[in-house]
Amino acid sequence: MIWLSDKIEFPDYKYTSEHGIIALGGDLSEKRLIHAYKNGIFPWFSEDDPIVWYCPFERMVLFPEEIKISKSMRKIIHKKEFIVTENTAFEEVIYNCKNIERKDGFGTWITDDMEQAYINLHKKGVAKSIEIWQNLDCTQSERKLVGGLYGLEINNIFCGESMFSKVSNASKLAFINLANNKNYKLIDCQIYNEHLASLGAREIDRDLFLEILKG
pLDDT of 107 over the 70 cut: no
**pLDDT band for position 75 (cuts 50, 70, 90):** very high
User: Does residue 149 contact residue 162 with C-beta atoms inside 8 Å?
Assistant: yes
pLDDT, mean over the chain: 93
**pLDDT band for position 48 (cuts 50, 70, 90):** confident
Contacts of 19-28 spanning 24+ positions with Cβ under 8 A: 20/54, 20/55, 20/56, 20/57, 20/191, 21/52, 21/53, 21/54, 22/53, 22/54, 22/55, 23/53, 24/50, 24/51, 24/52, 24/53, 25/50, 25/51, 26/51, 26/53, 27/51, 28/113, 28/114, 28/117
pLDDT in tens, 130-185: 999 997 766 666 789 999 999 999 989 999 999 999 999 999 999 999 999 888 99
pLDDT for position 108: 58
Mean pLDDT of 100-109: 64
pLDDT for position 182: 84
Mean pLDDT of 121-133: 97
pLDDT of 104 over the 60 cut: no
Positive or negative, the Cα torsion across 137, 142, 147, 150?
positive
pLDDT for position 98: 94
Mean pLDDT of 109-130: 96
Least confident of 15-19, 21-25, 102-106, 143-147: 102-106
pLDDT of 72 over the 70 cut: yes
Please give the Cα distance from 99 to 106 (Å, whole number): 10
pLDDT for position 29: 97
pLDDT of 103 over the 90 cut: no
Instruction: Write phi, then psi, for 4 (nearest 5 degrees).
Output: -80, 150
pLDDT of 47 over the 90 cut: no
pLDDT for position 140: 66
